[in-house]
Amino acid sequence: MYADDTAILARNKNPKFINLALNRHLKTLEDWFFKWKIETNVSKTEAILFSKDRSILKYPPIKMNNKIIPWSQECKYLGLILDRKLTWIPHFYYLKQKFRDLTRKFFPILARNSSMSRENKLLIYTAYLRPVLTYACPVWGYAAKANLKIIITQHNIMIRNICNVKWYISNTEILRALEYPTFKEYILRLAIKFYNNIDNHDNEAIKNIPAYIPDPKIKRPRNVLISS
């Protein structure tokens, strides 16, 4: 039996208290793992300190099973690449490459000169390719416009290929003619549904999550509801 993608979170303005809290918690986990004969893979364990402070790497690392876990610049959790400043740039480049790799497999039927109808091409894109770009978008949808452009460009290129349009026709005109939502409109729709489900969820742990109102001055996930 395997259990992976487990996370421990500690918050404090002083990184030294974060270090102390994590080490204490890990020591408690070590005792629990030993009692129940559960083995942990320290080599696959990562530690990341979310902060704009460039000097965080000088703080003492955390330890597990007497092995040092150094601070990382980014880590992968549940398919998301979290960078230290939460700009989401590494994750967007990861999505871009993953999208391109999958697109190559569909190229024979989605190419400009393909004999498949436009409606079926759009159906394939909507069902198989767009979900790659929008995975977990309620979490990163508040990212800066310049960063979001990394994946929005891939979306627009694919739509243009499917429609085989001339260079002088704008993306806005294409989507309007297709009655197809823009990338931002679609992730906003997903975000609204996601956060509504959270607010109305009957799980006690989810109910105990503190609610907050989006604030343009503070970059947090629910800001996608106003930034889009």
In a shared domain, residues 50 and 86? no
In a shared domain, residues 144 and 43? no
Whether 93 is covered by a domain: the verdict is: yes
CB within 8 A of 86, min separation 6: which ones?
50, 219
Q: Are strands 67-69 and 74-77 parallel, antiparallel or unpaired?
A: unpaired
Question: What percent of the chain has a predicted confidence (pLDDT) above 70?
Answer: 96
* b/e sequence 74-85, b meaning 16+ C-beta within 10 Å: ebeeeebbbbbe
The predicted-structure confidence for 61-116, as pLDDT tens digits, reads as follows 888 888 888 888 899 998 999 999 999 999 999 999 999 999 999 999 998 888 99
Q: Write the CA distances from 10 to 7, 42, 47, 54, 171, integer angstroms.
A: 10, 19, 11, 19, 44
In a shared domain, residues 36 and 146? no
Q: Could you give the CA distance from residue 181 to residue 152 in angstroms, rounded to a whole number? A: 12
Q: Give strand pairing partners of 75.
A: 82
Whether 62 is covered by a domain: the verdict is: yes
What domain range includes position 37? Answer: 15-72
The predicted-structure confidence for 189-225, as pLDDT tens digits, reads as follows 999 999 999 988 899 988 888 888 888 888 889 999 9
In a shared domain, residues 193 and 216? yes
Q: Could you give the CA distance from residue 20 to residue 63 in angstroms, rounded to a whole number? A: 10
Whether 102 is covered by a domain: the verdict is: yes
Whether 5 is covered by a domain: the verdict is: no
- Among 49, 72, 95, the domain boundary falls at 72
In a shared domain, residues 174 and 131? yes
pLDDT band at 56 (very low <50, low <70, confident <90, very high): low
DSSP 169: S
Q: Which amino acid is at 88?
A: W
In a shared domain, residues 178 and 114? yes
Pairs from 102-107 (Cβ < 8 Å, separation ≥ 24): 102/128, 102/129, 102/132, 103/129, 103/158
In a shared domain, residues 114 and 49? no
Q: How many domains does the chain have?
A: 2
Whether 207 is covered by a domain: the verdict is: yes
In a shared domain, residues 68 and 87? no
Tokens of 172: 């806005």
Whether 6 is covered by a domain: the verdict is: no
In a shared domain, residues 25 and 106? no
In a shared domain, residues 186 and 124? yes
DSSP 91-128: HHHHHHHHHHHHHHHHHHHHSTT--S-HHHHHHHIIII
Q: Are 134 and 187 in contact (CB under 8 A)?
A: yes
Tokens of 97: 């490459």
In a shared domain, residues 177 and 198? yes
Tokens of 29: 């986990």
